[in-house]
């Protein structure tokens, strides 16, 4: 646990208690109504007004600063995952069958509540206006971040910050990648319509399985021969459904896949090229190719000026050796919708330890609560000094 300057043991214990409450009562994406009601109840206790303009179950509140020259937005996500939690020795294990907080969103929500509580108790120290965003549906589509941006949650905001407790970074470290930090995540469905027939008479058919093999191979050339080698990207097929007989060539094949890109340009290029290759390759064999693109999240771009400010705050608040400059990753996060519109950054708070040894989205995943004081302190310091 890092040394903290602004918070005390009482606030830390209160925040951990809130985290355990959320962990025991998880709700899936878009269904976080009880969680939202609990968050509203606490904010009302703190005297922080709720902004009713935004769609449920999102919760947005506004803390008015003493000067109000700048407005800082802080975001936490609230949804859980469709996983059956394992680990009977936990006193706070999920009470909802098949649902658990397997990514740390219970910690994010509790941490932002802890920061809000501190602000309500120390209003004279908060010069900036603070927008508190408790967001629904980070883990599933439609994205809660995208919806809130459309509804104007960032209107009047100067900079936005969010944190994520992460099991892949050592406990006691805080860091991020500057610039492109996380990938876009889009999906596609492809249906290849050929002409079925007898396996012994392939010349009388247009074999969609054979065509699918060409398509799968050709898609890899998009990354190796069309995408800028300095811009990371990946195309992966996750599903293929065809016939069910040894000697019958089916009439159609369906393919399911995902596109990941680390730049906006790369994501657009791969979308365009996958659609073009589907049509042209299928046509060249006399088949019809039907391509359906499922838009997901854009790349997450941490703005350099916001990163520099955050880096200085981290070093000043926690020590020079705490900050870690991370490499970009191909995972995705809908926080990217906020950063597409406004200056800001997404910050990782390390918690790798024996308690938090399992990866995110694992049924035994857990937060090492020793990281929570750092999260609260960081949220407050960003609110005060960003």
Q: What positions carry a catalytic annotation?
A: 79, 138
What distance in Å separates the CA atoms of residue 136 and residue 27, rounded to the nearest whole number?
10
Q: How many residues are recorded in the chain?
A: 386
Supply angle C-alpha 223, 228, 230, rounded to 5: 105
Whether residue 74 contacts residue 144, with contact meaning beta carbons closer than 8 Å, is answered with no
Q: What is the 3-state secondary structure (H, E, C) of the chain?
A: CCCCCCCCHHHHHHHHHHHHHHHHCCCCCCCCHHHHHHHHHHHHHHCCCECCCCCCCCEEEEECCCCCCCEEEEEEECCCECCCCCCCCCCCCCCCCCCECCCCHHHHHHHHHHHHHHHHHCHHHCCCEEEEEEECCCCCCCCHHHHHHHCCCCCCCCEEEEEEEEEEEECCCEEECCEEEECCEEEEEEEEECECEECCCHHHCECHHHHHHHHHHHHHHHHHHHCCCCCCEEEEEEEEECCCCCCEECCEEEEEEEEEECCHHHHHHHHHHHHHHHHHHHHHCCCEEEEEEEEEECCEEECHHHHHHHHHHHHHHHCCCCEEECCCECCCCCCHHHHHHCCEEEEEEEEECCCCCCCCCCCCCCCCHHHHHHHHHHHHHHHHHC
What distance in Å separates the CA atoms of residue 118 and residue 120, rounded to the nearest whole number?
5
């Amino acid at each position: 646990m890092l040394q903290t300057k602004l918070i005390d043991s009482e606030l830390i214990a209160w925040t951990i208690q809130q985290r355990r409450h959320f962990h025991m009562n998880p709700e899936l994406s878009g269904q976080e109504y009880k969680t939202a009601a609990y968050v509203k109840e606490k904010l009302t206790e703190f005297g922080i007004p709720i902004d009713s303009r935004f769609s449920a179950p999102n919760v947005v509140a506004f803390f008015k600063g003493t000067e109000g020259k700048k407005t800082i937005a802080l975001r936490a996500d609230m949804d859980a995952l469709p996983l059956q939690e394992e680990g009977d020795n936990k006193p706070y294990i999920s009470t909802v069958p098949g649902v658990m907080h397997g990514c740390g969103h219970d910690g994010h929500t509790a941490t932002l509540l802890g920061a809000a509580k501190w602000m309500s108790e120390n209003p004279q120290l908060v010069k900036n206006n603070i927008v508190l965003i408790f967001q629904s549906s980070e883990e599933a589509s439609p994205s809660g971040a995208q919806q809130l941006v459309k509804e104007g949650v960032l209107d009047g905001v100067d900079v936005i910050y969010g944190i994520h407790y992460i099991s892949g970074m050592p406990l006691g470290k805080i860091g991020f990648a500057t610039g492109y930090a996380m990938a876009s995540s889009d999906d596609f469905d492809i249906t290849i319509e050929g002409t079925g027939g007898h396996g012994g008479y392939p010349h009388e058919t247009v074999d969609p399985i054979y065509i699918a093999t060409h398509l799968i191979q050709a898609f890899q050339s998009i990354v190796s021969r069309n995408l800028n080698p300095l811009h990371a990207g990946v195309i992966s097929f996750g599903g293929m459904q065809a016939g069910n007989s040894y000697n019958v060539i089916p009439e159609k094949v369906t393919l399911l896949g995902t596109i990941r890109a680390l730049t906006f340009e790369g994501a657009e290029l791969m979308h365009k090229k996958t659609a073009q290759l589907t049509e042209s390759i299928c046509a060249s064999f006399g088949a019809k190719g039907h391509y359906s693109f499922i838009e997901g999240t854009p790349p997450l771009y941490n703005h350099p000026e916001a990163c520099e400010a955050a880096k200085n705050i981290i070093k000043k608040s926690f020590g020079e050796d705490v900050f870690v400059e991370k490499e970009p990753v191909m995972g995705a996060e809908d926080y990217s919708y906020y950063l597409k519109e406004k200056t800001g950054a997404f910050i990782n708070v390390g918690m790798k330890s024996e308690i938090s040894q399992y990866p995110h989205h694992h049924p035994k995943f857990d937060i090492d609560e020793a990281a929570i004081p750092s999260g609260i302190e960081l949220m407050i310091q960003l609110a005060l000094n960003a």
